[in-house]
Amino acid sequence: MKKFIPLLVAAATVFVLSACSSFGTRKAGPTLQDVWRLDSVALLDTADTEAAMVVFLHAFSRKDSVPTFFAFTSDSLRIIEGSMVQRYRYTQEGARLLVQDSTLQEVAVTDLSDSTLVLNSGNKVRLHLRRVSSGPAQEESRPR
């Protein structure tokens, strides 16, 4: 009988803990799969004149232009700017995105939260993106 009581307590403990919704389940972290709006572009390598020109042209054109959106699915990326849409395949390996266009480009996810995404393209350019809400107030800013 003495051996039976600890076994019964252990079984009851396992049953209660497994029935609890927070035991054994982990809340999934934020995911890339959504629509993101490009907020800003930052230059990381000031010695790279080609990257500096890209950032300058982007900043200059943003003043009166339409927003740029990044729409991620599980394996594809669409970059949408007005009526122009570019499509790419990608794979994710941890914090690395391998984007396939004419060549394979490696992009690092340096920050991912429920509302923001920061991508580094090598050590040259950093993209700051904000998740587009699906609420009615944000509907006009979503790409179509």
What are phi and psi for residue 104, nearest 5 degrees? -90, 120
What are phi and psi for residue 35, nearest 5 degrees? -110, 130
- Which residue, 129, 134, 97, 133, is CA-closest to 116? 129
Residue 61, pLDDT > 60, answer no
* Total count of domains within the chain: 1
Residues 13-28, mean pLDDT to the nearest whole number = 50
Residue 75: inside a domain: yes
Beta bridge partners of 98: 91, 106
- Which residue, 35, 32, 27, 110, is CA-closest to 74? 32
Residues 29-48, mean pLDDT to the nearest whole number = 84
Residue 28: inside a domain: no
Q: What per-residue confidence (pLDDT) applies to 134?
A: 57
Other beta carbons within 10 angstroms of residue 78's beta carbon come to 15
Task: Decide which of 110 and 52 is more confident.
Answer: 110
Query: Where in the sequence is the domain holding 67, given as residue range(s)?
Result: 35-141
Query: How many residues are present in the chain?
Result: 144
Residues 21-34, mean pLDDT to the nearest whole number = 69
Residue 42, pLDDT > 70, answer yes
Residues 50-63, mean pLDDT to the nearest whole number = 59
d(CA 118, CA 127): 6
Residue 14, pLDDT > 50, answer no
Start-to-end Cα distance in the chain: 70
The pLDDT tens digits for 73-110 are 999 999 998 889 999 999 999 899 999 888 888 999 99
Q: What per-residue confidence (pLDDT) applies to 139?
A: 46
d(CA 144, CA 142): 6
Residue 9: inside a domain: no
Residue 30: inside a domain: no
Residue 44: inside a domain: yes
Residue 80: inside a domain: yes
CATH at 86: 2.40.128
Residue 115, pLDDT > 90, answer yes
Residue 12, pLDDT > 70, answer no
CB of 61 closer than 8 Å to CB of 70? no
> Number of helices (H) and strands (E), helices first, in the chain?
2, 8
